């Protein structure tokens, strides 16, 4: 059962402050926004800093905190309300906290933390978007898993998400590939080597073009032929595209990622003319050295290039056409673009062009940048053949997991399925465990490290919780009754307070477009739970105590599975 109302201590405190200060010029959102979690839990569970209230109330912050303490008095939700300097600190009363949080998790199940406020609204997410005829490498991992996670998070909040794989299937790189194929390739070699042979030809083109720059002119001519509908050029382009799509699909199958649309750049080729005409009609298009541009000097940006000298389109042209099409087709409230930080200027430019065209929804276009993935400190480069294939990374992780299972738990049922879930989970969590704008240096050792704060650690914790429940023969869905006073141990209360935070963490992850907020939260929850497990025996003679502790285990298992699901990671019952 999906719920929209959760125990919200910030709302409770806001109500208390508003109630005891009815005559004051207070704003609910301001009070709510000021509330924070103290860095030292010994101070309390939530704090209201009174600095910003000082100017409005013309009193020193510490006097405001003391006055509020005196006015608020006892509350069933708080065991202590105490002024400490300029802060008013609140400590949660254990029994209401335990009863409400565990009750809600067991009532809502996997819907705990979900919302319905996004219902009836669409969010378009443009992510993954590898280039045709180039290998799907680890540089594409961030876009793929960040976009997939954001889609899951927004669906969890009630939105309809349209995942779009905007394939790089247009541009001069195809002219380069056709040139290389005509000079140094053959049909037999491409059929034999597939994407690897296409990559070899692409690398060879750039090596040879450094010695013979005229090859670049040949490449441009071949791409011009593609745009003009030349039969041979289009046939080769379509062939290279089909080879690539087969390879990409194997990776998406491993990650269990699906898209609602795979309309690549080529899909918008026949829509570019209308964009150019509209830009002309609105007086935005000017000529610069033979090319057609939109001047953005007034906004501190270089001009946005719309058409090259030869009349061919560019990324910006196709992105504008795509945005217009998507708004008309999907009626989105937001369109997110998950690409590398290096493309930030590109998005700023064409977002501004859409705004100058008079479309107020330009404000709903959002670039979600992420950091650079490098290999031993050097930038990944398909041109130089410096890549780590994503399929190879995933299959290697799965194989390593299977070896560990065969060594430590050879009798495990569904070994291959568990190995796939854990191996893929390790790779996905590795990409989502750090802030997305942080640059990452890829290393096989770290990618395949299952120790410490990793995806497999979270999956193992979930499996441990599942094992405890199985061992007890406990059906927590049938028996929800428990005595919250039995969970008064500090280790248990720490877990409950962490469980309480989950709905807020999901909301923050959505607001900041940051799945790593959920990743970090899950690590905290797993560590708190494992601390509880080592300090508090679950299967005890005291039936009421055992029931309460089993309810807590079930709640942790539920939230871990939900959180991992939002990251695109499976939660095995056994490992």
CA–CA dist 424, 74 (Å, integer)? 50
Q: What is the mean pLDDT of residues 468-487?
A: 88
Q: 49: helix, coil or strand?
A: strand
pTM listed for this prediction: 0.93
Q: Quick one: pLDDT at residue 372? A: 84
Q: 369: helix, coil or strand?
A: strand
**What are the distances in angstroms from CA 462 to CA 256, 500, 528, 539?**
20, 18, 13, 17
Contact between 471 and 80 (Cβ < 8 Å): no
Q: Which of 122, 140, 334, 462 is catalytic?
A: 140
Contact between 386 and 380 (Cβ < 8 Å): yes
Q: What is the mean pLDDT of residues 39-67?
A: 92
CA–CA dist 507, 312 (Å, integer)? 43
Radius of gyration of the chain (CA): 28
Helix (H) or strand (E) segment spanning residue 331? none
Dihedrals phi, psi of 389, to nearest 5 degrees: -70, 135
CA–CA dist 484, 545 (Å, integer)? 9
Q: Quick one: pLDDT at residue 358? A: 98
CA torsion 361→364→365→371, rounded to 10°?
Answer: 170
| Angle between helical axes of 543-567 and 455-472 (0-180°, round to 10) | 150
Q: What is the DSSP letter of 131?
A: B
Instruction: Decide if pLDDT at 535 tops 50.
Output: yes
DSSP-assigned states of every residue in 56-82: HHTS-HHHHHHHHHHHH--BTTEEEEE
Q: Indicate if 140 belongs to the active site.
A: yes
CA 552 from chain center: how many Å?
Answer: 28
Instruction: Decide if pLDDT at 495 tops 90.
Output: yes
Nearest-5° angle of CA 383, CA 384, CA 389?
A: 85
Q: Which of 10, 122, 137, 367 is catalytic?
A: 137
Contact between 78 and 90 (Cβ < 8 Å): yes
CA–CA dist 287, 307 (Å, integer)? 10
Mean pLDDT of the chain: 92
Q: Quick one: pLDDT at residue 310? A: 79
Helix (H) or strand (E) segment spanning residue 388? none
CA–CA dist 340, 140 (Å, integer)? 9
Dihedrals phi, psi of 162, to nearest 5 degrees: -105, 105
Contact between 83 and 66 (Cβ < 8 Å): yes
Helix (H) or strand (E) segment spanning residue 375? strand 373-375
- pLDDT classification of 1: cutoffs 50, 70, 90: very low
Contact between 206 and 248 (Cβ < 8 Å): no
CA 327 from chain center: how many Å?
Answer: 22
Q: Quick one: pLDDT at residue 23? A: 63
CA–CA dist 133, 202 (Å, integer)? 8
Q: What is the chain's length? A: 575
Q: Indicate if 166 belongs to the active site.
A: no
Share above pLDDT 70 across residues of the chain, in percent, rounded to a whole number = 96
CA–CA dist 11, 535 (Å, integer)? 33
Q: Quick one: pLDDT at residue 569? A: 98
Higher pLDDT, 308 or 511: 511
Nearest to 292 by CA among 276, 273, 306: 306
Nearest to 493 by CA among 91, 40, 80, 94: 94
Q: In this predicted model, what pLDDT tens digit does every residue of 185-196 receive, in sequence order?
A: 999 999 999 988
Q: Indicate if 534 belongs to the active site.
A: no
Dihedrals phi, psi of 22, to nearest 5 degrees: -60, -30
Q: In this predicted model, what pLDDT tens digit does every residue of 354-382 receive, in sequence order?
A: 999 999 999 999 999 999 877 665 565 55
Tokens of 401: 């997991």
Nearest to 116 by CA among 1, 4, 5: 4
Q: In this predicted model, what pLDDT tens digit does every residue of 237-283 receive, in sequence order?
A: 999 999 999 989 999 999 999 999 999 999 998 999 999 999 999 99
Tokens of 555: 């709640």
Q: In this predicted model, what pLDDT tens digit does every residue of 215-240 receive, in sequence order?
A: 999 999 999 899 888 999 999 999 99
CA 91 from chain center: how many Å?
Answer: 33
| Angle between helical axes of 315-330 and 344-356 (0-180°, round to 10) | 60
**What is the distance in angstroms between the CA of the first residue and the CA of the last residue of the chain?**
29
Nearest to 135 by CA among 68, 199, 42, 193: 199
Edge-to-edge order in the sheet of strand 285-288:
285-288, 291-294, 304-307
> What domains, with CATH codes, occur in the chain?
9-92 (3.30.1360.70), 122-257+323-379 (3.40.50.620), 390-567 (1.10.730.10)
Least confident of 70-74, 361-365, 414-418: 70-74
Q: How large is the greatest C-alpha to C-alpha distance in the chain, in angstroms?
A: 85
Contact between 525 and 561 (Cβ < 8 Å): no
Q: What is the mean pLDDT of residues 90-114?
A: 95
Contact between 165 and 261 (Cβ < 8 Å): yes
Please list, in sequence order, all residues whose beta carbon lies within 8 angstroms of the beta carbon of residue 88, skipping any fewer than 6 positions away: 47, 48, 50, 65, 68, 69, 81, 82
Please list, in sequence order, all residues whose beta carbon lies within 8 angstroms of the beta carbon of residue 361, skipping any fewer than 6 positions away: 327
Q: What is the mean pLDDT of residues 478-495?
A: 92
Please list, in sequence order, all residues whose beta carbon lies within 8 angstroms of the beta carbon of residue 189, skipping any fewer than 6 positions away: 197
Tokens of 1: 């059962």
Contact between 355 and 283 (Cβ < 8 Å): no
Tokens of 552: 């807590």
Nearest to 76 by CA among 7, 140, 161, 125: 7
């Amino acid at each position: 059962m999906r719920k929209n109302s959760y125990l919200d201590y910030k709302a409770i405190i806001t109500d208390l402050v508003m109630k005891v200060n009815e005559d004051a010029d207070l704003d609910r959102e301001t009070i709510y926004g000021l509330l924070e979690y103290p860095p030292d839990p010994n101070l309390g569970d939530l704090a209201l800093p009174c600095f910003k209230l000082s100017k409005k109330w013309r009193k020193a912050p510490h006097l405001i905190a003391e006055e509020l303490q005196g006015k608020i008095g006892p509350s069933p939700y708080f065991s202590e309300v105490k002024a400490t300097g300029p802060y008013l600190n609140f400590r949660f009363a254990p029994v209401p906290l335990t009863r409400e949080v565990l009750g809600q998790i067991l009532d809502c199940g996997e819907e705990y933390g979900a919302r319905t406020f996004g219902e009836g609204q669409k969010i378009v997410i443009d992510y993954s978007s590898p280039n045709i005829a180039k290998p799907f490498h680890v540089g594409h991992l961030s876009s793929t898993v960040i976009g997939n996670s954001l889609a899951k998070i927004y669906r969890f909040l009630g939105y309809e998400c349209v995942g779009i794989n905007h394939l790089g299937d247009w541009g001069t790189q195809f002219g380069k590939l056709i040139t290389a194929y005509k000079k140094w390739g053959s049909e037999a070699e491409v059929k034999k080597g597939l994407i690897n042979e296409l990559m070899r030809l692409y690398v060879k083109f750039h090596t040879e073009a450094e010695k013979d720059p005229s090859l670049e002119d040949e490449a441009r001519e071949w791409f011009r032929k593609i745009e003009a509908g030349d039969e041979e050029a289009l046939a080769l382009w379509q062939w290279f595209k089909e080879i690539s799509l087969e390879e990409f699909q194997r990776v998406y199958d491993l990650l269990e990622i699906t898209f609602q649309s795979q309309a690549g750049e080529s899909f918008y080729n026949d829509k570019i003319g209308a964009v150019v005409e509209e830009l002309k009609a609105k007086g935005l298009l000017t000529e610069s050295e033979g090319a057609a541009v939109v001047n953005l000097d007034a906004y501190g940006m270089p001009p946005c290039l719309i058409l090259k000298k030869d009349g061919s389109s560019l990324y910006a042209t196709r992105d504008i056409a795509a945005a217009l099409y998507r708004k008309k087709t999907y009626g989105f409230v937001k369109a997110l673009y998950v690409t590398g930080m290096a493309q930030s200027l590109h998005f700023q430019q064409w977002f501004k062009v859409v705004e100058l065209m008079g479309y107020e929804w330009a404000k709903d276009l959002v670039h979600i940048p992420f950091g650079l993935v490098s290999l031993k400190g050097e930038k990944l480069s398909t041109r130089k053949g410096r890549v780590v294939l994503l399929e190879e990374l995933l299959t290697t992780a799965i194989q390593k997991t299977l070896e560990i299972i065969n060594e430590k738990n050879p009798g495990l049922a569904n070994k291959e399925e568990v190995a796939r879930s854990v191996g893929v989970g390790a790779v996905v969590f590795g990409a989502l465990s750090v802030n997305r704008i942080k640059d990452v240096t890829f290393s096989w050792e770290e990618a395949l490290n299952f120790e410490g704060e990793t995806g497999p650690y979270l999956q193992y914790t979930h499996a441990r919780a599942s094992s405890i429940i199985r061992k007890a023969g406990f059906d927590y869905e049938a028996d929800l009754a428990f005595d919250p006073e039995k969970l008064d141990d500090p280790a248990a209360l720490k877990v409950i307070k962490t469980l309480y935070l989950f709905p807020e963490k999901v909301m923050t992850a959505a607001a900041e477009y940051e799945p790593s907020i959920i990743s970090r939260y899950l690590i905290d929850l797993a560590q708190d739970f494992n601390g509880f497990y080592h300090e508090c025996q679950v299967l005890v003679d005291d039936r009421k105590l055992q029931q309460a502790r089993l309810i807590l285990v079930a709640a942790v298992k539920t939230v871990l599975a939900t959180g991992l699901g939002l990251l695109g990671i499976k939660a095995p019952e056994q490992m």
